[in-house]
């Protein structure tokens, strides 16, 4: 699609990984520059890319050097609200400022807000209680993302309790709803199931590993999710793209977290809608309202999965060619997604626990999507094991 309204032509994307957002921005007609941790091959194929290791030390100098018309943050940088405001003084921010972030990223604010509107949020406490060990509680770090700062209460050393807040664990599938807000208008874009934890070979028990997007919105959840989103936008002023992580309990949505940005599952929704969500997001912040969303083209389910390293190795060209062939041979079902993505530069050292790359699947049935992801991941891991032995 082409760019919409007065959207700037050069956009900067900043976060842990900018690949998915970069493809979205490119689809919208932008010239794209990216600063992220990985500088993957496929990101470099469509954007000017800078590897960064510290947002606080490198973001503002990079924006001054790059001189984009606007910038958008993706995963992780929402935990640096003061830095975001400083960067906004250098380059216009197409995203939510610290005023919004300090609300939507505060679990105690969310608990009070949602409870006041008879909406559900887990019991959340600043300090631990002796009864937590037997009652199913989690410790969470407020400045983390992707489940990296989540741990079972009983596994937290006593001298580290001050690093966490505490939340009652809610059992069930972890889901994510994606929204776009412009002023008082809020659109539910899609719902995805998140793939988390040991079943997906993540290094940490609650770490995010991927998503499966339902081709058709779950009608029974849509009404309550829209009500939650309306409360959030009116109370916090959140605008543009955002995600709500939640679990369904007794037919009701229990909100866990708000991600005030383009999220990892949104590229699956873009594939279903055949439209650029980064373009739609930027349109909100250039006073063009909600534009270019498109409609869901089919009822297929689409999935993505991060493959994590189970041992140290180097990503050499021979291994890459073998992995690419194995993934391609098992990806004939893909009509709207790449076969693999987030591909490291040849020669990159990969440490145990690191994400290696992303694989995708697509099918009319969610169980088939999950099966295909597992088959592809298993084949890739066997190849890596053979190569590393």
The pLDDT of residue 120 is above 90: yes
Are 303 and 362 contacting, i.e. CB atoms less than 8 angstroms apart? yes
In a domain, residue 41? The reply is yes
Would you state the structure tokens that stand for residue 190, as one six-digit string?
């899609």
The CATH number assigned to the domain holding 314 equals: 3.90.1170
What's the rounded Cα separation, in Å, for the pair 100 and 93?
13
Residue with tokens 């932008």: 30
What's the rounded Cα separation, in Å, for the pair 102 and 121?
18
What's the mean pLDDT in 251-258? 96
- Mean pLDDT score across all residues of the chain: 92
Domain boundary among 74, 97, 120: 97
Are 205 and 197 contacting, i.e. CB atoms less than 8 angstroms apart? yes
Are 262 and 277 contacting, i.e. CB atoms less than 8 angstroms apart? yes
The CATH number assigned to the domain holding 23 equals: 3.40.50.20
Q: What is the count of structural domains for the chain?
A: 2
**C-beta atoms surrounding 290 within 10 Å:** 16
What's the mean pLDDT in 15-37? 97
Residue 153 neighbours by CB under 8 Å, 6+ apart: 128, 132, 133, 137, 138, 139, 166
Domain boundary among 97, 129, 159: 97
Query: Between 277-285 and 266-273, two packed helices, what is the crossing angle to 10 degrees?
Result: 100
Task: Supply the pLDDT for residue 294.
Answer: 74
Percent of the chain with pLDDT over 90: 78
What's the mean pLDDT in 305-319? 96
Domain boundary among 68, 97, 126: 97
Task: Supply the pLDDT for residue 288.
Answer: 78
In a domain, residue 86? The reply is yes
Percent of the chain with pLDDT over 70: 97
Least confident of 100-114, 273-287, 292-306, 342-356: 292-306
What's the rounded Cα separation, in Å, for the pair 146 and 101?
17
In a domain, residue 230? The reply is no
What's the rounded Cα separation, in Å, for the pair 370 and 361?
8
Task: Supply the pLDDT for residue 54.
Answer: 95
In a domain, residue 20? The reply is yes
In a domain, residue 35? The reply is yes
Task: Supply the pLDDT for residue 8.
Answer: 56
In a domain, residue 183? The reply is no
What's the rounded Cα separation, in Å, for the pair 370 and 305?
9
Task: Supply the pLDDT for residue 4.
Answer: 43
Domain containing 49: what range?
A: 10-97
What's the rounded Cα separation, in Å, for the pair 192 and 289?
25
In a domain, residue 233? The reply is no
In a domain, residue 342? The reply is yes
The pLDDT of residue 2 is above 60: no
């Amino acid at each position: 699609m082409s760019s919409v309204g007065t959207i700037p032509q050069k956009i900067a994307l900043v976060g842990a990984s900018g690949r998915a957002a970069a493809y979205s921005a490119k689809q919208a007609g932008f010239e794209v520059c990216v600063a992220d941790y990985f500088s993957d091959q496929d990101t470099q194929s469509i954007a000017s890319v800078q590897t960064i290791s510290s947002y606080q030390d490198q973001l503002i100098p990079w924006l001054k050097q790059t001189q984009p018309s606007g910038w958008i943050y993706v995963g992780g940088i929402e935990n640096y609200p003061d830095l975001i405001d400083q960067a906004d003084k250098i380059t216009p921010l197409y995203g939510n400022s610290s005023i919004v972030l300090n609300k939507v990223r505060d679990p105690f604010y969310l608990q009070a807000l949602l409870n006041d509107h008879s909406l559900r949020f887990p019991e959340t406490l600043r300090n631990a209680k002796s009864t937590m060990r037997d009652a199913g509680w989690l410790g969470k770090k407020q400045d983390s993302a992707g489940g990296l700062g989540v741990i079972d209460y009983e596994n937290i050393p006593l001298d580290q309790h001050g690093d966490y807040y505490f939340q009652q664990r809610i059992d069930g599938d972890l889901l994510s709803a994606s929204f776009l807000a412009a002023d008082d208008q809020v659109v539910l874009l899609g719902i995805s199931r998140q793939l988390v934890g040991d079943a997906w070979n993540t290094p940490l028990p609650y770490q995010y590993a991927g998503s499966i997007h339902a081709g058709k919105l779950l009608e029974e959840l849509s009404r309550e999710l829209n009500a939650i989103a309306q409360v959030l936008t009116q109370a916090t002023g959140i605008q543009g793209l955002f995600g709500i992580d939640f679990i369904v309990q007794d037919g009701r949505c229990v909100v866990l977290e708000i991600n005030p940005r383009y999220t990892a599952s949104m590229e699956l929704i873009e594939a279903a809608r055949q439209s650029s969500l980064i373009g739609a997001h930027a349109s909100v912040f250039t006073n063009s309202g909600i534009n270019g969303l498109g409609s869901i083209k089919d009822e297929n389910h689409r999935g993505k999965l991060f493959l994590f390293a189970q041992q140290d190795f180097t990503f050499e060209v021979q291994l890459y060619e073998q992995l690419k062939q194995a993934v391609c041979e098992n990806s004939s079902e893909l009509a709207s997604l790449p076969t693999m993505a987030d591909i490291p530069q040849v020669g990159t050292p990969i440490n145990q626990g690191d994400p290696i790359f992303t694989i995708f699947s697509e099918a009319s049935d969610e169980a088939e999507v999950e099966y295909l992801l597992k088959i592809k991941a298993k084949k890739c891991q066997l190849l890596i094991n053979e190569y590393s032995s």
